[in-house]
Amino acid sequence: MDPATGSAGSDHVYLYTLYDTLVEWEPTTLEPRPGLATSWSWPDPTTLLLQLRPGVVFHDGTPLDAEAVKFNLDRARSSPTSNIKADLASVKEVTVVDPGQIAIALHQPDTALPLILSDRAGMIVSPTAVKERGARHDRDPVGSGPWRFVSWANDEKVVVTRNEQYWKSGLPYLEGVELAVIREVNTGLRSVIAGQNDFVFFLSPQQKPIIDRAKNLVSVVGPTLWCIHIYLNYGRKPLNDVRVRQALNYAVDRNEFNKATAGGLAEPAMLTLPSTHWAFDKEMANRYPHDPDKAKWLLAEAGYQNGFELDILGTSDQRALQREEVLIEQFSKSGIKLKFTNGVVPNTTTQYFVERKHDAYLSSWTGRPDPTQTYQLMFSKDGFYNTGRVEPVPEFGQALLDTRRDQGIPERKKAFARLQRLVTENALVVPLQFQFEMDAHTKKMQGFKPNLLGKPRFEAVWLES
């Protein structure tokens, strides 16, 4: 639960209870707003000044000042245990101007940085705790967020209690939160119906009728950036051949996949951004219509006239297994045999992205506040989710930089169109489906609002007695 050393997007529901971020975002638009930084400015294109909120302290009582922020940013950029180096790749140097202000010098302009600082890279941990606890801080964390860490029982629950020194007046409303770890969402939903828990998140569309029939439950539905897709290790055979990767994309019937796995209550994913996103490029949306014959032809061109077997990693939850069954049947029509190895998310994430086992991974991308992060982390040579650690195409690096040069949305949209074209034409991933957030809570739970990231936050939630 250290934001710099963790790697799963699903961690955020825990991290948000413990950590504030330098920049926050509007829930429905992801537009940046003040957080631990009350304001920011660009005195020149390669310098970002952050004015910090005065009087904030960590849970251990130490001050959250410019020195603490510099420690965190330097640690995120250089520590061997950091998994977010790519987020801050544009940062050249962090300087303390005074106790309430830092200056971030950049290698090149990076207009994505404020929203990057609303994610893991902007979650500030106590330097004192990190220095004293070392690796133990991963499991005994200290932040400045609305709640303080109490305990973590493996595969059972994480418990946090109110931070009485929290800088947001009157928040949080709840004395504490117990985050129960329940791997099977059906079991989680039953626990809320029975009143054992108050809230369950990211349910499947098939469970909505159950929620609607339960007299004591309220359903919450909203769009998200959460994309189910197949990660590809294009750093080794057979996926280092673009024709094989393109064949995988032609082999998928996304509309049928959506009907079979989500009852049609999701968006078929053509790109790594949903159609409602400001950076979505409509021209690339139909690049890979379902065409098994085209997939077979491409495989034959690549030397796989009789098809091939793909060594693919998956997760063992019920919804993931259903997706696997649908994909096995669809890919078989193009001569592609999927050989799945399944496990729980923490283990499979480590096996694929750290140990670099298996050719592909059926999992999800949970989204990031700024789309530059998505393309940086997933596809850049040093991105954590680029398993092969290879440059995808020669033009990619410059195209990524171009998305960070201009501050205006129209200019950035043009730059993203070029970037999406490179990713799509080179078939660096197999996008499948954008999930809708579907949550359920008891009627006594009040104040909850979903957000576009689909990652629940609870500081403004309360329970009616």
Average pLDDT taken over every residue of the chain: 94
Beta-bridged to residue 308, according to DSSP, are 336
**pLDDT band per the 50, 70, 90 thresholds, residue 202:** confident
Region 395-423: mean pLDDT is: 89
Separation of alpha carbons 272 and 11, rounded Å? 20
Nearest to 145 by CA among 128, 129, 168, 169: 168
- Helix (H/G/I), strand (E/B), else coil: 21: strand
Report all structural domains of the chain as residue ranges with CATH numbers, in order of start.
9-136 (3.90.76.10), 147-223+436-463 (3.40.190.10), 225-435 (3.10.105.10)
pLDDT of 452 above 90: no
pLDDT above 90 covers a percentage of the chain that reads 79
- Containing 429, the helix (H) or strand (E) segment is strand 429-442
Region 190-196: mean pLDDT is: 95
- Helix (H/G/I), strand (E/B), else coil: 380: coil
Tokens of 346: 């923490």
- Containing 68, the helix (H) or strand (E) segment is helix 66-78
DSSP 8-state assignment for residue 57: B
- Helix (H/G/I), strand (E/B), else coil: 95: strand
Region 140-165: mean pLDDT is: 97
Which pLDDT value is given to residue 159? Answer: 98
pLDDT of 410 above 90: no
Dihedral of the alpha carbons of 160, 151, 457, 104, in degrees to the nearest 10: 100
End-to-end C-alpha distance for the chain, whole angstroms: 31
> Contact, 424 vs 271, CB < 8 A?
yes
Residue-wise pLDDT for 88-143, tens only, equals 989 999 999 999 999 999 999 998 999 999 999 999 999 999 999 999 999 999 99
Which pLDDT value is given to residue 175? Answer: 97
DSSP 8-state assignment for residue 265: -
- Containing 103, the helix (H) or strand (E) segment is strand 101-106
Tokens of 204: 């499947």
List Cα–Cα distances, 399 to 99, 223, 242, 272, 280, in angstroms: 37, 28, 19, 16, 16
Residue-wise pLDDT for 322-374, tens only, equals 999 999 999 999 999 999 999 998 899 999 999 999 999 999 998 888 898 89
Which pLDDT value is given to residue 86? Answer: 85
Residue-wise pLDDT for 290-334, tens only, equals 999 999 999 999 999 999 999 999 999 888 999 999 999 999 999
Beta-bridged to residue 21, according to DSSP, are 123
Pairing of strands 308-315, 336-343: parallel
DSSP 8-state assignment for residue 387: T
Which pLDDT value is given to residue 29? Answer: 80
The edge-to-edge listing of strands for the beta sheet with 47-52 is 37-44, 47-52, 101-106, 91-98
**pLDDT band per the 50, 70, 90 thresholds, residue 7:** confident
